[in-house]
Structure 1
Amino acid sequence: MNTLHPEKESPVHRPTAWHVTHWSRDSYCRGAYSTLLPGGTPVHRATLGECLGGRLVIAGEACNPRAPAMVHGAWDDGIRAAKLAVRAGARRVIVIGAGCAGLGAARHLRAQGIDCVVLEARERIGGRTHSLQLGAVTVDVGAAWLQQFDDNALAREAERFGVRLVATDFGQPLAAASDGPVDGIDAAWEALRRGIDRRLPLAEGVARYLATLTPAEARATRYAIDGNLIIEACRPLEELSVDSLDEEGVGANDHFLPGGYRQLIDHLAAGLDIRLEQPVARIDWQEGGVRVNDERGDFCICSVPLGVLKTLQFVPALPEPQQDALAHLGMGTLEKVVLQFEERWWPRSPTGYLRWYDTPASWVEWLDLTDAVGKPTVAGLIAADAVERQFSGRSDEDIALAARDALQAWARAVEAMR
């Protein structure tokens, strides 16, 4: 949490507290979550997670074709990996990473009576979920929603633990654009997905598709790409697979945790043998056993984020199919700024979901957390090359103020439409 220096504050709509994330620079994740690079398919995700030699499984959201880039996708995949360890007859399992994949794996193994130790590089558990105090309220500066709620095993855990949940309707944003009224975004997105030539690289296919549209249709389609693809897949078009068009994002009865993910994570970690501040650089999984740092076992579940996975030394090296899968998967760039004010000065969205369409894109999505947390608070999301444009050469304070300026521009545009 940070408090703005008075001499640098704008005289209007001054944030009282703020937080800016830097997940892409974080050495323990190196990005927000996985995405498909050109040529990448869901098959590459499944291949990455195959059991190797009866001793090693890579696990996490990057390996889950059904729910990639989602917290419950990591949880489910950790359990999948643990079941493979059980099937292999493992007696002592080393789990690397205490994010949701690692916790899911360790809980399942513990329930089966299998000896298990979790090695976590950070001084905390939770991985890319991270709740902290901003002023008087708790906010999530990493993952913040339980997505695909009806088919989300973590949501069932949250209900079982009595965690307070609030539904969010991502299908009805209060949207505005810098160049006039905006509508037809959803229709333009579906038309693009139907009409693009999927035999072409994504960027080329989009360019050819846009060339067939009227100026108004092309404008709506560009904004649809910013709001429905880039902010979800978190890389520029040139760095994405055409299959990225089909990987689901928000919008499936998602639920927010006003008290933060931490309360759920703490429940899930209870009773597990977790060793903090244990970074891993090498995994020795040769025949006869597994060795990670000073720990020995007969099975390893590696649940570190994809960005870290690519830096690890495996002895022996990963088989060619897994190396090929890694080459077709990358980490997306997504950052968040959380701003807190004395009063809610921006137009109120009935759903709490705001979208800002600008050229070039900047802070595309905003979540108004005010009603949920009881203090005027908003979280803005920025992705892909927009992060470099907005973050490069700026202090966190400057970034927070720039985000505030974008929110003010959105508010003015909304008022102009009324």
Structure 2
Amino acid sequence: MEKRVHRPTAWHVTHWSSDPFSLGAYSALLPGGTPQHRTALGQVLHERLVIAGEACNAGAPAMTHGAWNDGLRAAEAALSAGARKVIVIGAGCAGLAAAQRLRAEGIDCTVLEARGRTGGRTHTVELGGVKADEGAAWLQHFAENPLAAVALQHGLACIETDFSCPLAAASDGDLPDVDAAWIALTKRLDRRLTLAEAINRYMVTLEPAHARATQFAIDANLVLEACLPVERLSVSALDEEGVGYGDRMLPGGYSELVDLLAKRLDIRLNTPVMRIDWSSTGVKVNDEVCDFCICTVPVGVLKALHFTPALPETQQQALAHLGMGKLEKVILQFDGRWWPYSRSGYLRWYDQPASWGEWLDLTDAVGKPTIAGLIAADAIERQFSGRTDEQIAMAATEALQAWAAAIRPTP
């Protein structure tokens, strides 16, 4: 019997890694990097310039509420400095938070945004008449997330995702106890070494079955979370867990929340910033002068900005230990849901080498057979290089079919 090949009726493929205004998905700690480097990057400079965003938030890095909270921190720095005119660079969550706080205090605040839209690395696209997020998709750490409070206050639908209970399968046989392998790895790694050295030393001590389970754990719990290969990650990346309990997604899309956050703000779209001159008592951003500048661009873009004078050694060292994780997403839509149903809506696929390792079934949330897959680090090059978006979408569909076959094998 010929195997049926499913073909999506619509698809969307992200390219955050090549987007000139992001150059990646979110920040990650490079070898030698620590949470203290995040804090150092956000130190206020001469009461007139501060870098802010998820990369500076050691408590919630790589998360939208981490960016939001750090934007509020930056706004308080501007208020403490007595600033009356502030320029905020970037209309993502950090920039919007800073601008909202300053506006509430009557401060003259302008937001300069390079893109033709607000939201930064949050953006909702329409696919077949439904909404789906190509960037951030969850309100994480929901109970203590200030953005979650805004969403609830305005009656936005929020659907819980249980990340602890994925419907999972492996490409090469029975699914091992990946969680146990991950716990053992984190307990036994020699943290005095680089992460890559520590993992290599640990792996050679394992029996083949345990090594297989451990590799799956590394691919899913480390590389897919931090979004860089282990050779480019700090040991401290092991402690920066992004998934929380009770995380919820917005079936109407993140952009409906961003639209609320951007209301009544002075935002200038299509205005990229290239130069920041903070050499005198004021700050000159491109050709505009202000008392205080809050720069919220992603780490990848920050490294390309021209500062006069150059950033102090503390910030330069912090930047040298921070990079941008590579994470992409494919959103696929079909005439019907042909893949096995997961009560949590969360799916995991353990492949060697790693490919589309994580999936979220959006069908019940959006009312149409739609599913989103995530891919990270080196796997992106393997799956994206030389392919059109259609070819990438079809390759992702093949991976989903392989997962479905492993979950429910054909007799």
What's the TM-score, normalizing by structure 1? 0.96
Using the TM superposition, give the Cα deviation of residue 64 of structure 1 relative to its aligned residue in structure 2, in angstroms. 0.3
2:376 aligned to which of 376, 379, 383? 383
Q: 2:69 aligns with which of 64, 70, 76?
A: 76
Q: Name the counterpart of 1:333.
A: 326
The CA RMSD measured in Å over matched residues stands at: 1.2
Mapping of residues 86-235 of structure 1, within 5 Å: 86-235=79-228
Q: Is the 8 A contact 1:72 1:154 kept in 2?
A: yes
Take 2:164 and 2:286, find their aligned partners in 1: how far apart are those partners?
A: 47
Please state how far the C-alpha of 1:214 moved relative to its aligned partner: 1.7
Large movers: runs of 4+ above 3 Å:
none
Is the CA contact 1:169–1:251 (under 8 Å) kept in the aligned structure 2? Answer: no
Q: Distance in 2 between matches of 1:90 and 1:158?
A: 30
How do 1:234-273 and structure 2 match up within 5 A?
Answer: 234-273=227-266
- 1:5 is aligned to none
1:150 positional shift: 1.1
- Contact between 1:181 and 1:417, CA under 8 Å: does it hold in 2? no
Separation in 1 of the partners of 2:331 and 2:397? 10
Mapped to 1, the partners of 2:160 and 2:191 lie a distance apart of 35
Q: Secondary structure at the match of 1:416?
A: coil
Alignment match, 1:60: 53
Question: Take 2:63 and 2:204, find their aligned partners in 1: how far apart are those partners?
Answer: 34
How many residue pairs align between the two structures?
Answer: 409
**3-state SS of 2:408 partner:** helix
Matched, 1:34 2:27: yes
Letter of the structure 1 residue corresponding to residue 129 of structure 2: A
Moved more, 189-198 or 207-216: 207-216
Amino acid paired to 2:394: L
Q: Is the 8 A contact 1:131 1:140 kept in 2?
A: yes
Gaps of 5+ in 1: 1-9
Q: How does 1:340-355 map to 2 (within 5 A)?
A: 340-355=333-348
Structure 2: which 5+ residue stretches go unaligned? none
Distance 2:404 2:242 in 1: 25
| Structure 1 contact 338–379 (Cα < 8 Å) conserved | yes
- Matched residues in 2 for 1:251 and 1:358: separation? 25
2:363 counterpart residue number: 370
How high is the sequence identity, in percent, across the aligned residues?
68
Deviation at 1:211, TM superposition (A): 1.5
Distance of 2:139 and 2:266 partners within structure 1: 26
Asked if 2 retains the 8 angstrom alpha-carbon contact of 1:19 and 1:134, the reply is yes
Question: What letter corresponds to residue 185 of structure 2 in structure 1?
Answer: L
Post-superposition Cα deviations, 1:112-162, rounded to whole Å, max 9, x if no partner, equal 111100000000000000001101101100101000111111111111111
What is the Cα deviation at residue 259 of structure 1?
0.2
- TM-score, normalisation: structure 2: 0.98
1:295 aligned onto 2:291 = no
Q: Distance in 2 between matches of 1:300 and 1:238?
A: 35
Partners of 2:242 and 2:72 in 1: CA distance: 22
Partner SS, residue 73 of structure 2: helix
